[in-house]
Structure 1
Amino acid sequence: MKNVFSVSNAVMLLIDHQVGTIKLAISTPYDEIVRNTRALARTAVETGMPLVLTSSQEEHFQGLLLADLQTIAPRAYAERVKRPGVVDCWLYGPFKEAVVATGRKKLIMSGLTNDVCIVYPAISALEDGYEVQVVVDAAGSPTTAADETALRRMESAGVTLTSTNQVMAELAMDWASPTGSTIQTIMYQEVLKRLVEA
């Protein structure tokens, strides 16, 4: 591949992984969303990638971001962009400014839910000239139909859809490299261990 996303050219955007919002994402099992979100956050933190977190209306049913994110990425959590209610986070100035400040044009994006909180910023960022990969299995929607519709809409607009393992492998590129070894360890601990040791 010539146009590879790497830890040196991409930024990780985790959007609205909140304790209330995750209850709406029933198209993907709860535990799977948490595992994959943890893996993405750890990959960013442990490889030095920029990580931008955002939340929407924390004082409402959406609630705070998952406690795992606060534990894994305390700095990004403290600096999270708290939106007052703007659905398309790309249109909320402080969020877009935080992404622009990273200086990176390759965006790895995931969040809750695909059919509301991800579809719009993914397409908006793409329209602004960014390259966007959406990690679909660290997210979900209220129904399978809603999720599939959102994924089709994003893909038809030019967004690249990916999975947690797939994007982590792309960021690693070589498991024997220092970065690759770090990512492989995270992938095993967060995603693969339960399968291998079952």
Structure 2
Amino acid sequence: MKKLILLSVSLITSLYGFAQKPSPQLLNPTNHTLVLIDYQSQMAFAVKNQSIEVLRNNAALTAGASKIFNIPTVVTTVAAKSFSGPMFPEISSFYPIASTTVIDRTTMNCWEDLNAHKAITGKGKKILVLGGLWTSVCIVGPALSAINEGYTVYVITDASGDVSTEAHDQAVTRMVKAGVQPITSLQYLLELQRDWARSETYNATTDLIKQYGGAYGIGIQYAKEMIKH
């Protein structure tokens, strides 16, 4: 009887412990590389699947999250001097040109650029998170290429833009069919934070949301102000 009780307790403990273990499909600060692709003026001019204001906020949430949680990050541009122009200020505020190795390319698919490919694969992570412009070209290219080389790929769809809603949606559909996991910028940030008891990143996370998180950010600001009274 005693052995049966001990066995039951052991099983319950095992089940309880297993229930607390997060899915390996969840992103965390150490299991992936973020690639920020072609967040540049000329690329943004033609974006029609969402407003530029929303796109910029979502790009900022993504870049800001990577800084808060020290995510291995690759920043890449295309034809910066001859065509596409400077990066969004929301990106360069977190990754200043003066202190960041920004890899400029001629290829639309950054996976085909030797320096970009080396920088991405050199981080040593088998999970990649992509965001940028345009979804149907500069995101589809590396997403499908990385999957072909055995990587798991996530795409931050609301931090990516394209020349039409159809172009963006069809690109996402194509990538999902190939195995890409779509997520959003706020989801990315909150998945990294995951627990509000993580005090070391709590303030930075909520401050980022207050600045770029739209209605949710206003809600956080309201809640913090009301708690004072």
Same fold (TM over 0.5): yes
1:180 deviates by 5.1
| Aligned partner letter, 1:145 | E
For residues 153-173 of structure 1, what are the alpha-carbon distances to aligned partners after superposition, in whole Å with 9 as ceiling and x for unaligned? 000000001111112121111
| Aligned partner letter, 1:35 | N
Task: Show the 5 A alignment for 1:41-190.
Answer: 41-74=63-96, 78-83=100-105, 85-178=106-199, 181=202, 182-190=204-212
1:195 deviates by 4.8
Matching residue of 1:27: 49
CA, structure 1 residues 75+7, in 2 after alignment: closer, same or farther (shift >3 Å)?
A: farther
SS in 1 for 2:213: helix
| Aligned partner letter, 2:126 | K
Unaligned runs of 5+ in 2: 1-21, 223-229
Matching residue of 2:225: none
2:34 maps to 1:12? yes
Distance 2:95 2:196 in 1: 24
Distance 1:122 1:144 in 2: 19
SS in 2 for 1:7: coil
Distance 1:122 1:26 in 2: 21
Distance 1:179 1:111 in 2: 28
1:108 deviates by 1.1
The runs of 4+ residues in structure 1 deviating greater than 4 Å are: none
Distance 2:29 2:61 in 1: 14
For residues 100-159 of structure 1, what are the alpha-carbon distances to aligned partners after superposition, in whole Å with 9 as ceiling and x for unaligned? 221111111100010111011111111111111100111111111111110110000000
Is 152-161 or 125-134 further displaced after alignment?
A: 125-134
Question: Over alpha carbons, which structure has the higher Rg?
Answer: 2
Percent pairwise identity: 27
Unaligned runs of 5+ in 1: none
Distance 1:100 1:189 in 2: 32
SS in 2 for 1:61: helix
Structure 1 vs Structure 2 CA RMSD: 2.0
SS in 2 for 1:65: coil
Distance 1:133 1:57 in 2: 25
1:32 deviates by 0.8
| Aligned partner letter, 1:139 | S
Alignment TM-score, normalising by the size of structure 2: 0.79
1:25 deviates by 1.5
Q: Contact 2:69–2:192 at 8 Å: present in 1 too? A: no
RCO higher in structure (CA 8 A, sep ≥6)? 1
